[in-house]
Each structure stands twice: as C-alpha cells, then as structure tokens.
Amino acid sequence: MNAPPVIAIDGPSASGKGTVARRVAHALGFHYLESGALYRLVALASLRQGVSADDESALAGLASALDVRFQDGGILLSGEEVADTLLEESCGNRASEVARHPAVRAVLLQRQRAFRQPPGLVAEGRDMGTVVFPQAELKVFLSASVAERARRRYKQLIDKGIHANLAALSRDLAERDARDSARAVAPLAPAPDARQLESSEMSVDQVVAQVVRWYREGNPAGGGA
C-alpha cells in the first residue's frame, strides 16, 4: 500500500512557511504539521523547568515526555493553550539552540513522521525535505530577505499584542539563520531536489497558488478541491 503523499516546505524562520503550509493543506484537504512548534514546545518546557540549553540528555527527556495536542488551530501543552507563548522570541531563540542536539531531534523525528496519514500531509520546518520526509512528492524551500522576514514577524507579534522591536528581530533572525545553517545535525539547507521559492515580493496567495500548482503538475490525480 502506498504511503500518503507529503509536501515538505522548508525555510528559515519567519519565511512564511507556516501560513503557506496551512493554506496549501486546506486547499488540498491534507493534514498539516508545524514541526517547529515541537521544538518550541521543548524550548518552552526547558525555560519553565530551568533546564540548560546545553543539557542534551535532559532536553531529550523533555521532548519524550511532552504532553502536547494540536487542536482546532491551537497548541495545548499539558492542557494549557500556549500557541501565542510559542511566538515569543525567547522561545524561538531557545528552540534554535535545542534543535542542534541529535538526541532531541531523534526523539521528535518519530513524532513528526506519525503525522503522515491519509489523504496526505503538508509538513513545514527546516529539515522536512532533507531528513524527516526525504521521499516527499514535492519539496519546497521558501525564503525571503532578512528585512522582509523581520517585518512579517514584527507585524505578526504586534497584531497579537506582543511587544516587539524591529531592529532586534532583524538581528535575532540573522543570528538564527547562521546558527541553523551551521549546525552539525540537519543544517538548514534546501534538499537537492527542492523547488526554491523567493517570496519577498510575493503575496501569500501567490505563494500558495504556486505550491499547489507544482504539486498538481506532478500529481494530476492527487489533492482535493
């Protein structure tokens, strides 16, 4: 029996891959995986429990014990809605540190792959096409300039009532890019067979339409309405 199809959308932080992936999943009637949320959840748990970002064993234990549910667009950690908390820069920066540990990635890998269910999955993150779903039917590497990504993240945070500083966001994103690209395990990089999409001058609608078009061109019988 063939495995359900996967569209893997990778890219740097604040490239818009989450919004794009959700909308592509909706357009095709597929499930959706925000892999970064799992790392942010480990980050949040580590911050709350005082676990060092360098304590690989303890962080892997947190990842294994996470009581998490994705429900109606929300994210529940031990029954508490934490979706907005995960957007805070302290969580994002700690998640980037947490993600460099092989033991943490190994624990979360199986959780991520379990999301692959009929009729299909749109998975977004940093290593969906290179590590988690290397046989994905479509791989997209979505990028945008640091300035544009900082602007998008700033608007996202301000709209949610979360204090933000545009200059600090730009600096944090540039530092996170460097850290994610240089890590020894699953560095941020496009898969050799990924379609690269630079979205700085594109609307969300245009990006979504392009990804859906690419998928349907390769799978003319696949994907919903």
pLDDT digits (tens, 9 = 90+) for 80-95: 999 989 988 899 889 9
Please state the domain count of the chain.
1
Residue 176 lies inside a defined structural domain of this protein: yes
What's the whole-model pTM score?
Answer: 0.83
Residue 225 lies inside a defined structural domain of this protein: no
Could you give the residue ranges of the DSSP H alpha helices within 114-201? 146-159, 166-182
For residue 35, the domain's CATH number is: 3.40.50.300
Residue 202 lies inside a defined structural domain of this protein: yes
pLDDT number for residue 225: 44
Residue 174 lies inside a defined structural domain of this protein: yes
Residue 200 lies inside a defined structural domain of this protein: yes
Residue 86 lies inside a defined structural domain of this protein: yes
Residue 1 lies inside a defined structural domain of this protein: no
Give the tens place of pLDDT for each residue, 175-196: 989 988 888 777 888 999 999 9
What range does the domain containing 132 cover?
6-214
Give the tens place of pLDDT for each residue, 18-46: 999 999 999 999 999 988 899 999 999 99
Nearest to 49 by CA among 13, 76, 75, 78: 78
Residue 156 lies inside a defined structural domain of this protein: yes
Q: Would you mind telling me the total number of residues written for the chain in this entry?
A: 225
Query: For residue 143, what are its two tokens?
Result: 């990028």
